Structures are given as C-alpha cells and as structure tokens.
Structure 1
Amino acid sequence: MKLILLIFILIFIIPIFSILFYLFPIDLEIWKHLNSTVLSTYIWNSMILCLSVGLITLLYGVSLAWLITFYQFPLKKFLEWAIILPFVFPSYILAYIYYSHKDKFIELNSYIAAIFIMSLSFYPYVYLFSRNAFAEISPNLINAARIFQKSELKTFWKIIFPLSQPAIFSGTILVCIEVLGDFGTVDFFSIDTLATGIYRTWFGLGSIKGAIQISLTLFSIIALAIFIDQYLKRKKKFYQNQFLNAKKSAKKLNLIYSLLAIFYCTFPILIAFVIPISILLYNTFQIGFKNFDKEFFEIIFRSFFISFSGAIICIILGFTFSYSSQIKLNKLINIFPKFISLGYAIPGSILSIIVLSNLKNLDEFILYLSMNIFKIENINNIFTSSIIALYFAYSIKFSAISFNNSESAMKRVSPNLFWASKILGYSNKNTAVKIYFPLVKSSLITSFILIFLDILKELPATMILRPFNFETVAIKTYNLASDERLKESSPYALIIVILGIFALYFITKFNIYRLKENKDE
C-alpha cells in the first residue's frame, strides 16, 4: 500500500520538477535582452500586484467572514452565499465589461484598475476558507470570552484569528498564486508582469526555453510563499473539539451597525456581480436567440462534464495526499505531498508543455511496446491527443487547492482520534473514510467548488491540451471577448456565471445545514 501510494505521488511530482530539465542550456541571449530591458519591470509589477491584491483580499475576505459568522443582521442568510457570487466572473471578463463601458464609470489608472478588478474576483478564496474555519471554532471559547467581558476585537485577535490562521493564510496564498499567474487581466491593462513576459518570450521572441526559464522566476516566488506558509504552520498545532454541545449564538447588531454591515457586504456583490451580469443579460437580449444552437449546448455540456469530473479527481487526490501526510506513513510519503502545492505555481501554458513532453514520452514507449512486442500498429498519441492530457494537467495544477484546504482542516483534528481508531483495529483506509472524511467533508466540498469553477474558467492549459475541435465556454468567451466581440461572448460568459451560481448556492446551503446540525447537537 505504501509503495503504491509513493508511486502514485511520484507520478504527479515528476512533471512538476521536470521543469528544471528545460533550464539547460540557458538561453543567454534572451536573458541578456530581458535583463537589460524588461525583466526588473516584470518582477516589480508582479510583486506590487501580488502584495496589493493579497492584502486587500486578506482584509476584506476575513472581515466579511467575521461579520457573517459571528453577527446577526437583516439579509444575513441571503448575503452568506451571495458574497461568493463575484467568484463566478473571470477577472478578464470583468475587465472587458468595465472597459467597454468606461465612459459610464470612473476612469482609473491601469494599475489601480487591475488591482481593483482582481481583488473583487479573488477575495472569495479568503472568505470561503475563513468562513469554514470560523464555523469550526468551538462556541465555548467565544462564550468564555464574552463571560470575561472581552471586546469583540480582542476576542477576534486573541482567539478567532490565531485558531483560523492555517485556513486564512492558505486562502491568501492561493490568491497570490492566482494574481502572479493571471494573464488575461494584466495583458488587457497592458501591465508587464512575469506572466505576460512568459507569453511574449514564447510567441514574440519564439523561445520556448526562454519562456520556461522566465517561468522559473515566477515559480520560485510562489514556491517561496508556499514554503513560508508551511513553515509557519509547522511551528503551531491547531486542534478543535469535534464534539460540540454548545450552541453558537451570533451577536445581534443594532439598526445603524446592521445598515453598515449590509452595505459592507453588498458592495462587492453590486460591483462585481449585479452590474456585470446585468450588462451580459442586456447584451444577450440584444443579439437574440440566434446563438443558442446545437453547438452552444454541446459546449455547455462539455464544459460541465470536464469541470465536474476534473474536480472530483482533484478532491480524491488532495484528500489522499493530505491524509498520507497527516498520519506520517513514512518519511518519503510525508515529504512529497508538500510539493503538490507547487503544481499550482506553474503557469498554465508552461504546465501544458511539460505535460505534453511527459505524455509524449509515454506515448512513444507504448508505441514501441505495441509494435515490437504485441505486433499492433496504428497506436499513436493515446495520451497526448485525448482528454487524459487535460485531466493530468488539471490534477497537477488544482489538486493543490484540495490538498491545502483538507490539510488545514486535518490539522484541527486531534491525533487522539487516529490513535483511538488504531486501538479499535481500524485500517488506515477505514480511518480515512469513517473518521477523517466526515470531519473534513465541508472543507472538501469547499475545495470542490473552487476547483470546479477554476477548471470551468481555465484558459491556457485547456486551449493547448484539448483534443481536436474541443471547445469550452471559457475558450469561446475569451476568443470572442479578446476580439472585442463582447455581445457575442455574453451568452457563453453567462453560462459560466449560471453554473457558478448553482455550485456556490449548493455549497453554501450545505454549510448552513451543517451549522444547524451542530446547533442541534
């Protein structure tokens, strides 16, 4: 079992580290040109965007989760799930929508506009992770703080925030990774970052090796952030009582504070969801039903299927890797899952090259076996020309979301439960299914929705690795919007939004149901 798990982990680790093989020989001419012209600008702009968006989403996402979890005010039940709605809009779509109507809105500097747009798109990461962590804090701790007449802010800083650090920083790290890897938004606002530099070096200068070598700079920055996050978590232990018998009581706000809370929660919904979707609906109404043909519905089904099945695969992998790391089967299995997070740091285009290179070698090996041993011909490109390549890329890139979220949840599970299961004679597999899975189920469902939407909106990897004539709503939307055919792209963008709304509503209703169960215990 340990050997099988180790081989399985290595299948995903090897492609991540195979990026190092593309570094040599180093393309000195490209590096000299970049270093003397734009490399410092790429790095500086990337860091400014990363730190700015990361800080804004951290403050806004955590504060929203705090309000929703610990306070009672009108429209709270609606706002609890509506706050996540901006996540269904890809940031580049928001950029196109507001730019096409810039005469009706305040004109902003391109840097400020990009920071604003990306903050609105990515703050749900921090909100979801924080909300889930806050919901699992024992109400006994909050009630004890109130008995000792501690202020709300002091309770937050001394109790709530320290207990939720793993989830909060995991969400913030994911935001930073998204910002550093974003291409559509920064390219639209003509901001030179490492992500745009990779594409320009690849397509403009015609150097794939140069593009991969630049991506190593981006990869190194994100890897450093991930390892800092892991180091900080390693120094602390976070356990929660899983058998709660105290009821959670949200503090009721007075009229003025209720109005302020409603405004604070509805602002991102209005700016990043209501206005954009109104524009998309208006555009769709204007073009009529001529685009709702057979191809349109085929693209919808294809997108839903690949997103749903890909998210399931990533959830299984993330849970398996985090559980193997948690129970420490052996030193190697404990170390390797930590590198899974690095897959999310690789830009989609570069990941596609790596996946194609590895699967091409596997295709050649299978072709050799089929022709020389089994005497079977015409077996070509089983992996590289099929949907398997997409699943492989999604697994490498998005399993990090499931791994980080489930690992944060498992760190709050007391190790006494694991040892109790061993005393009762449970195998590792039964312990995972019957004990750990129910305790981290809400975190896994949260991860599922994030991965589902990420795959639904994924562009570079899907465009490069897709089989022939395989289009998704994201590809169709981007192609039309990038040609400034926003009205024609509106129906496809609406599909992304509608599927996202259903998925987000489901996860939020599940979390509310889980909270009600805790109250009844």
Structure 2
Amino acid sequence: MSAAVARTAWPRVLAWALALPLLLPALWLASAFATPAPDVWPHLFAQVLPGAVRNTLALLGLIATLSLLVGVGLAWASARYDYPGRRFLDWALVLPMALPGYVVAFVYVGLTDYAGPLQSAWRALGGAANGFPELRSVPGAALVLSLVLYPYVFLIVRAAFLRQGSAAMDAARSLGHGPLSAFFRAALPMARPAWVAGLSLVLLEALADFGAVSILGVDTLATAIYKTWFGLYSLTAAAQLACAMVALVALVLVLERIGRGRGRHAGPQLMPPPRRPLSGWRGWGVSALALAVVSLGFLVPVAQLLAWSWQSRSALPDVGAPALNTALLAAMAAGLVLVIALAFTLLGRRGGGDRIVQAAGFTAGLGYAVPGTVLAVGAMWLLVAAERAMPWLGGLALSSSLVAVLLALSVRFLRVGHEATESAFQSLRPSLLESARVLGVPAGARLRRIVLPLLRPGLVAALLLVIVETVKELPATLMLRPFGWDTLAVRIYGYTTEGLWAQAAWPALWLCLVGLVPVWWLVKQQK
C-alpha cells in the first residue's frame, strides 16, 4: 500500500515543485504592501490613476466591440457563404496576427503625422489642419489594436460555426425568422462558448499591451506601472499597482467563465454545412470588407515598412547585435519553456490523469493571462528579495541579469508550450507504448526511441510558437534586460519613442518575418 501511495505522491510533489517558482513572481507582489510608499501614492491617485483606469476600461470596451463585430461577422461569412476570393481571404484574414501591435501603431502614427502622407493629402484637398482625426487617442488605440487582435475571435468562432451544421438555422427559418433574426436567435447563442473564449483572449492581450498604447500616447494601467517604476523610481509602488492589475486580469477570467456558462461547442460534423453562394453586390461587398480589414491590418503596414526601409537603404540601422540578442533570448526561453512543459505533460501521463498533477500544470500556465509589465515587476521584486535573503551569493545580481528576463518569459509563455505539447501527446497511440512495454523495452528507451520521434512535429510547433511570442514580447524584456542589452523589440521601441519611424522599419520587418511562422502553422492546421 505504501508503495502505491509513493507512486501516486511523487508526480504530485514534483509537479508542484515545478509550478511553485512560476507562481512566485505574481504571488510575491502581495508582499509589497508590507512596505508603504506614502510619498508616491498621493501623486498616483491625483495625477496618474484616474486617467489610466478610465482609458483602460474605455479601451477594453471599444476593442471588445470592434473585435466582435469584425471577427464574428467575417467568421459567419466565411463559414456559411461563398463569395469572390473566399479561399484566399480565409487565410489572409489571419495574417494580422503576424504583426505586433506596436509595429502597426508606429506605422499608422507615421502615416497620420502632420508631415505624413495622409495629413498632407488632407490639407492639399482643402481640409482644415486641425480637422484630421487624431490617432493618438483612446479610439485610435482601440482601432489599431483591434486590427491585430480580431483574428483570435475569427479563428475560434469560424471553427464553431463550421461545426454547428444547418439544423438550428433551418429550424429558426421554419418558425418564421428572417436570416438576421435566425442568426441572433440560433447560431450566435450556440457559438457563445467560442466567441466568449475568443473575446477573453482579445481582452487579455489588450490589457497586456504596452508598446502600442505607449506609442499612441494613451496612458493605461500597463504604462502606469512602467512610469511608476522608471519615472517615479518606486519599485514598491509599482508592485502594489501591479497587484491591482492582477485583480483586473482575474476579473476578466471570471467573466469569461460566467460568459461561457454551461454552453458547449457544437459536436463535430462529418461534413461542414453547404455554403450559400453570394453573387452580385452582396458577394463583392463581403469581399471588399474582408480585403479592407486585411489591408489595414497587414498589407498597408508591411508596405509602409518596406517603403521606409527602401528609402533609407543607404543608411539602414545596424541590427546585428539586437538580432543576435533576440535569437539568444528566444532560444533560451523557448528551450526552458519546452522542457518545463514536457515535464508537466509527462508527469500528467505518469500520474494517470491525476487531478492534483493537472491542477499544478494549469496553475503554472496562468501566467499567460498576466501582463508582461506585471510579471516584470513581480520577477524584479522576487529576485531583489532573494538577493537580500541570500548574502552568500557573493554580490551576484540576479535582478539585473538575464535570469530575471528568462523567469518572466517562462511564466508568461509556459501555457503556450504546455498546450502544444499536450496536443502532440493526444495524437500518440497508447497501443504503441503498451506493445513496447510488453516486449520489455525500458521506460527511458521507450521515451527516446518511440515517444520523442513521434512527437517531434508537435514539439517543433510548440518551440516555434514560444520563440515567436518571445521575440515579440516588449515590456518584460524592456524592463528587466541588463543595461545596454537590446533586442529587436527594444530597439524598435527606442526608435519610435524618438519619432524615428524610418529607422524602426528595418528591425520591424525582421520581427514581422518571424511572426509569419505561427500564422503559417495555424493556416496549415486548419486545412
């Protein structure tokens, strides 16, 4: 009996031993309240927080509305109708995911500046200089971020609509409802788990955004944390403010769970419902709308980056060192995340689906919902406390090394790697392992000779996804990197803060190229 208990206990202990270091950066923030910051908080309450909270809530509301309208509308058109260019637009609508929000933001700021082509054309046509719409605003930031975030809703909801079949819509039409009424009364409620899940991802990404809102001059809670740390030089107040942001993230997750309710996705169909042909102005209207969204979210930004890079081709900025640092950081972070994710997956399999082991893996992956600014403050606060508690380190500065960056990135993106490895293991046939075990092949040999070769495609996909997320991550790297150790994302941010749009275009193009990798993988998975 004791041997059976031991076999059950050690996966649990090891799983939580792996999860605890990943939870500490966020949990340790609460200890900041033991150190008051009376000289900072009056200024924050009077000058910073009212506008930051108001802008954050308004931004989330606008982004949610725009993302739902565009994502759900285009998903329904793609799943149920056949219009000119649909096959091309189905994968083109995912392309904006390849671009970081801060890249799209600085492109449109450059295009809409007073000396930019859009304002110049506006004045040439007789428009008033002060009558041009202001992009540096909450509505402007919401529009820019929605252009790169709507694919989360589009991908998930499109898959749900394809699984629904046509029975519900046919029943609604037979009861006298028109196409629009049947959609809102039957199709949309059935897809509620899908659009709520997609919307929660959009809101979490919007809440975590730091680069785009900084470039657009919109103060949010993410920028408030950064300014409190680096502007007011108070890590304590920044940690306390980060706790409030963690509570807002928790609220989003709770609302997402309530929004799903007891709804489930529709069961899989043998064949998707037949698409209704759209011809004439209706078909071309849908095509034009989809193409406009793709153009604004991907084609225009990439074309402008290419134009700026070509214009400054004789004096392109040197991105050799930042590119090398980016590759080094991405390789280390992705390798670390993959090892931890693989360990959680193997422990879950070893524990026979033990709920305690699964809870450890799920809890460790919650860092994906925490903004990078919060994790940066949590990692710094934790490592500073570790340095003080362990003087025997001999002056080793953990908080000003790559250790802090890797800790924050591992916490942030473990869920990405874990879900990819879990998906890879689900495709593994248990009969193969059972046959090898019956034949007397040791466990280590089974892992090396059977499991890993079969899982290689899924593990490579997980590695690529984590690499791309790491490369695009800005706030954690910006706030925790060693002095003078720039990545491509940090270099882009440095150029854009000085208004040097053309200089930022060249490193931004490299980031866009890397970002196309997961988009290609997502499109391939849907074929």
Fold match (TM-score > 0.5)? yes
Determine the C-alpha separation between the residues in 1 that align with 2:489 and 2:197.
Answer: 26
Paired AA for residue 190 in structure 2: P
Per the alignment, residue 511 of structure 1 pairs with 525
Determine the C-alpha separation between the residues in 2 that align with 1:164 and 1:220.
Answer: 25
Per the alignment, residue 58 of structure 1 pairs with 68
**Structure 2 gap segments, 5+ residues each:** 1-10, 120-131, 439-443
**Out of 463, 471, 476, which is 1:461 matched to?**
476
User: Per-residue deviation at 1:329?
Assistant: 4.9
Per the alignment, residue 7 of structure 2 pairs with none
Q: Does the C-alpha gap of structure 1 residues 37 and 199 become closer, same or farther in structure 2, counting only changes over 3 Å? A: same
Deviates more, 1:483-492 or 1:124-133: 124-133
Task: Tell me the alpha carbon deviations over residues 295-334 of structure 1, each in whole angstroms, 9 at most, x when there is no partner.
Answer: 5345435434544664565467568769989999556445
**Out of 126, 142, 145, which is 2:165 matched to?**
142
Q: Secondary structure at the match of 2:165?
A: helix
TM-score by length of 1: 0.77
Q: Does the C-alpha gap of structure 1 residues 444 and 125 become closer, same or farther in structure 2, counting only changes over 3 Å? A: farther
**Out of 463, 483, 487, which is 1:472 matched to?**
487
TM-score by length of 2: 0.76
Contact 1:134 1:164 in 2 (8 A): no
Determine the C-alpha separation between the residues in 2 that align with 1:406 and 1:180.
Answer: 27
Contact 1:299 1:471 in 2 (8 A): yes
**Out of 296, 299, 302, which is 1:271 matched to?**
296
**Out of 273, 277, 282, which is 1:253 matched to?**
277
Determine the C-alpha separation between the residues in 2 that align with 1:276 and 1:239.
Answer: 37
Q: Does 1:128 align with 2:140?
A: no
Contact 1:132 1:443 in 2 (8 A): no
Contact 1:473 1:496 in 2 (8 A): yes
Per the alignment, residue 300 of structure 1 pairs with 323
**Out of 209, 213, 220, which is 1:193 matched to?**
220
Contact 1:83 1:265 in 2 (8 A): yes
User: Per-residue deviation at 1:17?
Assistant: 0.7
Determine the C-alpha separation between the residues in 2 that align with 1:467 and 1:457.
Answer: 18
User: Per-residue deviation at 1:225?
Assistant: 1.1
Determine the C-alpha separation between the residues in 1 that align with 2:341 and 2:186.
Answer: 31
**Out of 2, 27, 32, which is 2:12 matched to?**
2
Determine the C-alpha separation between the residues in 2 that align with 1:454 and 1:247.
Answer: 34
Contact 2:235 2:377 in 1 (8 A): no
Deviates more, 1:175-184 or 1:335-344: 335-344
Pairwise mapping of residues 356-395 of structure 1 onto structure 2 (< 5 A)? 356-359=380-383, 368=392, 380=396, 387-395=402-410
**Out of 477, 498, 520, which is 2:513 matched to?**
498
Pairwise mapping of residues 48-197 of structure 1 onto structure 2 (< 5 A)? 48-102=58-112, 103=114, 104=118, 106-108=132-134, 110-134=137-161, 137=163, 141-145=164-168, 150=173, 154=182, 158=186, 162-163=190-191, 165=193, 167-197=194-224
Paired AA for residue 26 in structure 1: P
Per the alignment, residue 280 of structure 1 pairs with 305
Identity of aligned residues (%): 24
**Out of 376, 379, 383, which is 1:355 matched to?**
379
**Out of 208, 231, 235, which is 1:204 matched to?**
231
Q: Does the C-alpha gap of structure 1 residues 17 and 191 become closer, same or farther in structure 2, counting only changes over 3 Å? A: same
Per the alignment, residue 26 of structure 1 pairs with 36
Pairwise mapping of residues 419-458 of structure 1 onto structure 2 (< 5 A)? 451-458=466-473
Paired AA for residue 104 in structure 2: L
Q: Does the C-alpha gap of structure 1 residues 253 and 291 become closer, same or farther in structure 2, counting only changes over 3 Å? A: same
Q: Secondary structure at the match of 1:101?
A: helix
Contact 2:96 2:147 in 1 (8 A): yes
Pairs aligned (count): 484
User: Per-residue deviation at 1:171?
Assistant: 2.7
Paired AA for residue 87 in structure 2: K
Determine the C-alpha separation between the residues in 1 that align with 2:377 and 2:34.
Answer: 16
Q: Does the C-alpha gap of structure 1 residues 452 and 59 become closer, same or farther in structure 2, counting only changes over 3 Å? A: farther
Q: Does the C-alpha gap of structure 1 residues 449 and 94 become closer, same or farther in structure 2, counting only changes over 3 Å? A: same
Determine the C-alpha separation between the residues in 1 that align with 2:226 and 2:348.
Answer: 36
User: Per-residue deviation at 1:484?
Assistant: 1.4
Q: Does the C-alpha gap of structure 1 residues 169 and 450 become closer, same or farther in structure 2, counting only changes over 3 Å? A: farther
Contact 1:177 1:222 in 2 (8 A): yes
User: Per-residue deviation at 1:7?
Assistant: 1.3
Superposition CA RMSD, Å: 4.5
User: Per-residue deviation at 1:220?
Assistant: 0.8
Contact 1:142 1:155 in 2 (8 A): no
Determine the C-alpha separation between the residues in 2 that align with 1:38 and 1:7.
Answer: 39
User: Per-residue deviation at 1:442?
Assistant: 9.0
Contact 2:215 2:496 in 1 (8 A): no
Contact 2:421 2:458 in 1 (8 A): no
Paired AA for residue 162 in structure 1: M
Q: Does the C-alpha gap of structure 1 residues 356 and 210 become closer, same or farther in structure 2, counting only changes over 3 Å? A: closer
Contact 1:215 1:346 in 2 (8 A): no
**Structure 1 gap segments, 5+ residues each:** 370-377, 516-521
Contact 1:92 1:184 in 2 (8 A): yes
